[in-house]
Amino acid sequence: MSNWKTGTRLQSGRYEIDKVLGYGGSGITYRAQENPQGNFVAIKTLNSLIQNKEDFSKHQERFIQEAFCLAKCNHAHVIKVHHVCQEEELWCMVMDYVAGGTLRQYVNYKKGLAEAEALKYIQQIGSALTYIHEQGFIHRDVKPGNIMIRKSDMQAILIDFGLAREFVQDKIQTHTNSRTESFAPLEQYELRAKRGAYTDVYALAATLYYILTLQLPFPAPFREQGANLITPKQHNPNISDPINYAILQGMELRPKNRPQSIGEWLTLLKAKKVTASKKRNLRHSRQAILNPARKEHLELAIVSSSSVNQSSEKFSKSSLKETQTAQNISKIVSRSNSEIDYKKLE
């Protein structure tokens, strides 16, 4: 088994591979044409790296779970799966092909979005998440790179259900601790922790943070150790108070302090203003001053996380500044900024 080349025919000639659209930690996604002169489709399967691993069958089981989770969904802002099939030993899912780019590519190309446009996409993905929560799943990998923007009508579509799991709200279950730094809440760093709709609330709020500021929010474990999150408004003064407040509420470290459902969080986005007492509370919750011992610990943690290079998502220059551990960190910043993908839309 290996990755498929352009021209490879699958399913007795029904699909012809055109090109690779994306290559991730475990998956590879191709564009293919259905029947000669037919529509383009996107076909996702496990990549050659995983195909050659000893625990391939475990990955395949998880992949099939993703495929069937998606195949059950029918929502305007969730990617449509047409066909789940097996090509030799490999399971594949055939999806709608979305001509456009990811939200991450789009905002980087546009150098940030105005609030109204950002909120349109967030509302759409919010409704997709409410829908999948009603089906009993949490996505667990919401981020700008897993949202497509369709060029023809500028609608947002949620993709990549590779980490999606069935859940019972608030029940402690054993989950894999895969995640994307900067967008994953604290509970996703623990193998056995409660998860619920509020897990996706954090990631959607972090997504809004990024698309309005172009800065990656500080990862949850470092915040837990005392590094204050820079407010979105500090990065971008054009952000309104209610949106700034809603993002910070959605990104509360402790699940119990977050809105418990996407619907509840979306309501916060519609508020006309933020009362003085709410602003005061926010200031207090952000005023966790680092004591010297914690500062040192934090500095080490950041350095080791960077050298291990666990994720392609890195922290923003100004978020790192906020940790006040400038000397070592400045080295990391110059490295991490060059890793951000500024690829233009197709």
Ligand X SMILES: Nc1ncnc2c1ncn2[C@@H]1O[C@H](COP(=O)(O)OP(=O)(O)OP(=O)(O)O)[C@@H](O)[C@H]1O
Contact residues toward ligand X (CB under 6 A) are 21-27, 29, 42, 44, 79, 95-98, 102, 145-146, 148, 159-160, 162
Do the beta carbons of residue 104 and residue 146 sit within 8 Å?
no
Binding mask 117-146 for Mg ion (x = CB under 5 A): -----------------------------x
160 is a site residue for Mg ion (CB under 5 A): yes
In the complex, the smallest distance separating the C-beta of residue 267 from ligand X, rounded to whole angstroms, is 29
45 is a site residue for Mg ion (CB under 5 A): no
CA distance 234 to 110: 20
> What type of residue is 216?
L
42 binds, among ligand X, Mg ion, none (CB under 5 to 8 A by kind): ligand X
Task: Compute φ and ψ for 266, nearest 5 degrees.
Answer: -65, -30
Q: Which is nearer to ligand X, 113 or 149 (CB)?
A: 149
In the complex, the smallest distance separating the C-beta of residue 157 from ligand X, rounded to whole angstroms, is 7
In the complex, the smallest distance separating the C-beta of residue 24 from ligand X, rounded to whole angstroms, is 2
Q: Which is nearer to ligand X, 182 or 244 (CB)?
A: 182
213 binds, among Mg ion, ligand X, none (CB under 5 to 8 A by kind): none
21 binds, among ligand X, Mg ion, none (CB under 5 to 8 A by kind): ligand X
Q: Which is nearer to Mg ion, 34 or 160 (CB)?
A: 160
In the complex, the smallest distance separating the C-beta of residue 211 from ligand X, rounded to whole angstroms, is 15
**Residue 296 neighbours by CB distance under 10 Å:** 12
98 binds, among Mg ion, ligand X, none (CB under 5 to 8 A by kind): ligand X
Q: Which is nearer to ligand X, 126 or 145 (CB)?
A: 145
Q: Which is nearer to Mg ion, 66 or 160 (CB)?
A: 160
Do the beta carbons of residue 147 and residue 67 sit within 8 Å?
no
Q: Which is nearer to ligand X, 284 or 344 (CB)?
A: 344
CA distance 77 to 167: 21
263 binds, among ligand X, Mg ion, none (CB under 5 to 8 A by kind): none
Alpha helices in the chain (DSSP H): 48-51, 56-71, 103-110, 115-134, 197-213, 220-224, 232-235, 241-250, 262-269, 276-286, 292-308, 317-322, 326-337
Closest CA to 187 of 205, 173, 168: 173
Q: Which is nearer to Mg ion, 144 or 232 (CB)?
A: 144
Long-range interactions of 75-78: CB distance < 8 A, separation 24+: 75/127, 75/128, 75/131, 75/132, 76/124, 76/128, 76/155, 77/124, 77/125, 77/127, 77/128, 77/155, 77/156, 77/157, 77/158, 78/128, 78/131, 78/132, 78/157, 78/158
Q: Is 91 exposed, middle or buried (0-12, 13-18, 19+ CB in 10 A)?
A: middle
Binding mask 225-264 for Mg ion (x = CB under 5 A): ----------------------------------------
Site residues (CB under 5 A) for Mg ion? 146, 160
